[in-house]
Structure 1
Amino acid sequence: MPSAPDPDRAPDPRVTLIGKPGCHLCDDARAVITAVTAELGETFVERSVLDEPDLMARYAEEIPVTLVDGRQHDFWRVDADRLRAALGRPRA
């Protein structure tokens, strides 16, 4: 039988930013994601292709990559309005 949700546990972040240190496009994407998630009361997590070989193999030429609810949403640039719209939908 599944357990009841823990009200004290924060939900998993809906947004993931995949990038790497020193990437100016990643810095730009982070600024947009930070602003939009803060505005909507969401959180995000960052993952680096330098730390995870599977991410490097998959996304090396597309970073920064934004995932929403585990699905690829954008790469290279993040559009704030598009991200807001995606986060306005319930989790999949």
Structure 2
Amino acid sequence: MSDRHAVTLLTRAGCGLCVTALEQLRSICADFGIEPGTVDVDQAAATDPGLRAEFGDRLPVVLLDGKEHSYFDVDEKRLRADLTR
């Protein structure tokens, strides 16, 4: 299908919801030939403290093409629709 979209999960170590979200993203993205990336906001804070400041209290956060798509839960229906565009 298309690899023009980038899907990234903002996460942190020890986040159970993040593990579940990544599993969901891998399943969804596989249908589109995309491998979702991950960014640990605590590790990224060394070079980008704004990332943790903006998203750190509501992880996991799904980014589609660098923009917030959903948080806490993966909005599968919406993500699939957006990945077809």
Normalising TM by the smaller chain, what interval? 0.7 to 0.9
TM-aligned CA deviation for residue 79 of structure 1: 2.1
Provide the aligned length of Structure 1 versus Structure 2: 79
User: Quick one: which of 57, 80, 88 aligns to 2:76?
Assistant: 80
* TM-score normalised by length of structure 2: 0.84
Aligned-residue identity in percent: 34
In the alignment, structure 1 segments of 5+ residues that lack a partner are: 1-10
In the alignment, structure 2 segments of 5+ residues that lack a partner are: none
* TM-score normalised by length of structure 1: 0.78
**Does the CA-based 8 Å contact 1:13-1:45 persist in structure 2?**
no
**Residues 72/45 of structure 1: CA separation in 2 closer, same or farther (3 Å cut):** same
Moved >3 Å (runs of 4+)? none
For the residues of structure 2 that align with 1:84 and 1:66, how far apart are their CA atoms?
13
Coordinate RMSD, CA, aligned: 1.5
Q: Structure 1 or 2: larger helix share?
A: 2
Structure showing greater radius of gyration is: 1
